[in-house]
Amino acid sequence: MAAARPAPSVVATVTGLHPATVGGMRRVAFLLCILLLGETASMTAPLAVAIGYGDGRDVESFATTMFIAGIVGTMGFFLFRTDLSSLTRHDGIAVVALGWLMVCLFGSIPYVLEGQLGWLNAWFETVSGFTGTGSSVIPDIEAMPRGLLFWRCFTHWLGAMGFLVSFVALLPLLGIGAMQLYRAEAPGLEVDRLRPRISSTARILWTIYLTLSVALTVLLLLGGMDWYDALCNMFAAIGTGGFSTRNTSIGWWHSAYIDWVIVLFLWLSSTNFSLYWFLATGRPGRFFRDAEWRFYTGVLLCSSLFVAAIVWATSTVSASAAIRNAFFTVVSLASTTGFVTADYEKWAPVTQFVLFMLLFMGGCAGSTAGAMKAIRVLLFGKQATHEFFRTMHPYGVTKVRLNGGPVTGEMMRSVSAFMGLYLGVYMVSVGVVSLTGADFATAMSAAATAMGGVGPGLGDIGPMDNFLWMAPAAKLVLTFDMLAGRLELFTLMIILTPAYWRR
């Protein structure tokens, strides 16, 4: 209201752009710089680990990256410093989309400087980390320096909550702009407001996230992991990422306790975080009667039991091992994590079909899990059955209902649009990956696993393989899929449309 109107800037004069556009670009640039400084600060953790272990060249690579990012961020911070309260939706989309690209770009520098990975592979690994995917191009993980491995898992944990959601929780100066960022980064179906202010909501979600993280770390320590393994695997589990510290993933520990603890926490982290708030505020009914949660949990149970039965019937393993491995694999893939304890490619083909389908569904909305989200699948199914009903009673005045209330037409439309776009992007990606020479099962599962942020797939990218052999074009497409899937398609894809830039 009373803020001084800035004089038409030099940029506006030189480029001939409308000052409002330039103002928006300035706000975007300023936020990106804050974001970069945030990333720099978060690199102190892997740097400390690298110094502590001193087992590679990663100390230098983190220090150099932090120096570069710190300089760029600080210079930009003072150069672009501006009032953020007038952030528009347009700006919010740009910040989120460009912010993710930038964070991944800077996040890949330590891998490159360390020397074992080239630019493209480092980019793939970082995108896979921040988006919580967990597909790797590193054949021998245990040969990597520990600081770098820590960073690899830490990116899962940082990316899972969303950088900008974290900002919204921490920076009060955003005002109404906070919501634009929140919407663009955590689009979901609608913003579940636990408290009227978006920043309070974000803080509550962060508290839930931290609580889960601490609880899992303690349980993993009790299970015999050392601090380093416990933290790294916790990052990957709570962030539903899937990078581990061992070549054989969680299977390395051969511990039923660790397996079941991980299964429990994968399930917890792929549950809508808002539900925990209802639980904490004494409304357990809202938790246990939630339609999406029931549907998701039901799918997990049925799939696990089915897979366990098939595995037990078609192989020589004991019933308890079959149940344990089936639950672990199903929950790991459905929660879009991608930890493995068993080579599911050796199981009967029908189990692989079930697992492949789970790559698409993903966890609940409002969790750290990716893919389509259980609620969309549920609503899509409900809509289909509703059409049967409409055919029987053409004059019936009815609505699809969810949790007792009617689902608005607008929400149904957004679900259909999302599903359509998801499948569209999926098919194009499968096509491109096939073109580079991958076989059919590999291409089909690679695109699904990338878009869903799961990690391993089938064929040549199964649980015991990695993505190193893939052609550069395939890697680029898959990283795009990971980012697009993580940002629920629209935020990333909208900046690729000419209409976004035309105004």
Partner 1 sequence: MRIVVVGTGTLGFYVARKFSEERHDVVLVGEDEEALRRAQDAMDVGAVAGKGSTPSVLLDAGLRAADILVAVTGSDETNIVACLIAETVSKRIIRVARIHDPAYLGASGIIDKSSLSIDLVISPEEEVAAAAVALARVPGATDVLDFAGGRVRAVGVSLDDDSPMIGKPIKALLRGDEGEKLIVAGVYRKEIVSAPSADIRLMARDTLFLVADSDSVRPALTRLGKRWVRTRNVIITGGGWEGVSIARRLAAEGIHTKIIERDPAVCERISNELADTLVLQGHGMDETLLVDEGIQRTEMTIAALGDETANVFAALLARRLGTRRAAALVDTPEYMPFASSIGVGVVLSPLLAALNPITQVARQGQVLAIRTLRENLVEGIEFVAAEGSGIVGLPLALLHLPHGSLVGAIVREREVIIPRGSTVIEAGDQVVLFTRPALVPRLQKLLAPA
Interface residues with partner 1 (CB under 8 A)? 1-5, 89, 172, 175-176, 178-179, 193, 195-200
**Taking the complex as a whole, how short is the minimal distance between the CB of residue 2 and partner 1, in angstroms?**
4
CA–CA distance, 493 with 503 (Å, rounded to integer): 16
Residue reference for tokens 């690579």? 61
What are the start-end ranges of the H helices in 43-88? Answer: 44-53, 58-80
**How many CA atoms within 13 Å lie on the side-chain side of 503?**
10
How far apart are the C-alpha atoms of 501 and 503, rounded to whole Å? 6
From the CB of 203, what's the least distance to partner 1, in Å? 12
Min dist. Cβ of residue 61 to partner 1 (A): 40
The rounded distance, in Å, linking the Cα atoms of 237 and 290 is 23
- The smaller minimum CB distance to partner 1, of residues 289 and 393, is found at 289
Query: What is 368-420 written as a DSSP string?
Result: S--SS-HHHHHHHHHHHHHHHHHHH-TT-----EETTEEPPHHHHHHHHHHHH
- Residue 226 or 410: the one with the smaller Cβ distance to partner 1 is 410
Q: Can you read off the two tokens belonging to residue 479? A: 């990283």
Q: Which residues of 136-168 are buried (b: 16+ CB within 10 A; e: fewer)?
A: bbbeebeebbbbbbbbbbbbbbbbbbbbbbbbb
Using the structure block, give the residue that is written with the tokens 């710190």. Answer: 70
Q: State the nearest-atom distance from the C-beta of 342 to partner 1, in Å.
A: 46
The span from the CA of 366 to the CA of 386, in Å, is 26
Nearer to partner 1, 9 or 88 (CB): 88
Q: How far is the CB of 172 from partner 1 (least distance, A)?
A: 8
Q: Least distance (Å) from partner 1 to the CB of residue 197?
A: 5
Minimum CB separation of residue 26 from partner 1 in Å reads 19
Whole-angstrom distance, CA of residue 483 vs CA of residue 97: 9
- Which C-beta is closer to partner 1: that of 172 or that of 437? 172
Measured between alpha carbons, how far is 473 from 478 in angstroms, rounded to an integer? 9
Nearest partner of 335 among 160, 467, 492, judged by Cα: 160
Report, in Å, the least distance between residue 178 CB and partner 1: 6
Q: Which residues contact 85 (CB under 8 A, 6 or more apart)?
A: 173, 174, 175, 176, 177
CB closer to partner 1, 282 vs 498: 282
Q: In residues, how long is the chain?
A: 503
Residue number with CB closer to partner 1 (194 or 234): 194
